[in-house]
Amino acid sequence: MLKKEFKRKDVQRARNLITGKTGASTGTQIGYNKKTEDYKEGDVWTEGRKTWTIKNGIKQTVSKLDAIKKEVYIPLSCPCCGKIMKKRLDKPNYKIHKKCFDCVVEFEHKLRIRGEYDDYKKKLVTKNSLDIVNEMESYLLDAINTSNSSFVSEDGVIEKWTGGVSKKEWSQKVKEASQTRREHLEKELNDKEGTKGTN
Ligand SMILES: [Zn+2]
């Protein structure tokens, strides 16, 4: 029995190496009968009533992907100064700040003069983490509730579970974990004001 498990784990590990998923978990969970199906970046397939794809290593519905596309849609000119955004650095800066690179430089320069730059940068990182938590939460909840028999790991592997998994239980776990992280991050944002004690 132990020998068999060990062997299967090794096969999975070799498969992960071949497919480039070196960070993927190869552990076998007791009590679950797990079957894996591999999809790679850019694949589009139907599961349940939804169409899925893998983008940046994360499985998501195609309609969700469209919404994300809209979100990162770059207008022709900067909403702040009105100049055409054609520089290489305009695009990545617009995604974060909703203005062109020159406007960001100018804005951050003003903050530096006022001695507020470090604080602003820290807040930006924290806000970005909050966005990621929110995205991951809705992605996971979506994955859990789409099908009762499959779960998708971060590296795009669909893990089919038979028995023992309750949608409700998993949803609750995801919500709890997300909420804990959110509270921590929000606290970090609010504590920036100054003299709040430890923790
Ligand atoms: Zn601008």
Which tens digit of pLDDT belongs to each residue from 138-151?
877 777 766 555 55
Tens-place pLDDT, residues 71-112: 667 788 999 999 999 999 998 898 888 899 999 999 999 999
How many angstroms separate the CA atoms of 116 and 101, rounded?
19
90 Cα–ligand 1 center, Å:
9
77 Cα–ligand 1 center, Å:
8
pLDDT of 29 = 39
pLDDT of 73 = 72
pLDDT of 191 = 75
190 Cα–ligand 1 center, Å:
29
pLDDT of 117 = 93
79 Cα–ligand 1 center, Å:
7
Burial class (CB in 10 A: 0-12, 13-18, 19+), 153: middle
96 Cα–ligand 1 center, Å:
13
107 Cα–ligand 1 center, Å:
10
Q: Which residues on adjacent β-strands are paired with residue 160?
A: 35, 150
2 Cα–ligand 1 center, Å:
63
The per-residue pLDDT string of the chain (199 residues; one tens digit each, 9 = 90 and over) reads: 344 444 555 555 555 554 545 444 444 334 444 344 677 777 777 776 777 877 767 777 777 666 666 666 778 899 999 999 999 999 889 888 889 999 999 999 999 999 999 999 988 888 888 888 888 888 777 777 665 555 566 666 666 655 555 667 778 888 888 899 999 888 888 876 544 444 4
- Amino acid present at 144: I
Q: Count other C-beta atoms under 10 Å from residue 175's C-beta.
A: 13
pLDDT of 100 = 95
Q: CA 154: distance to chain centroid? A: 9
pLDDT of 53 = 79
pLDDT of 31 = 40
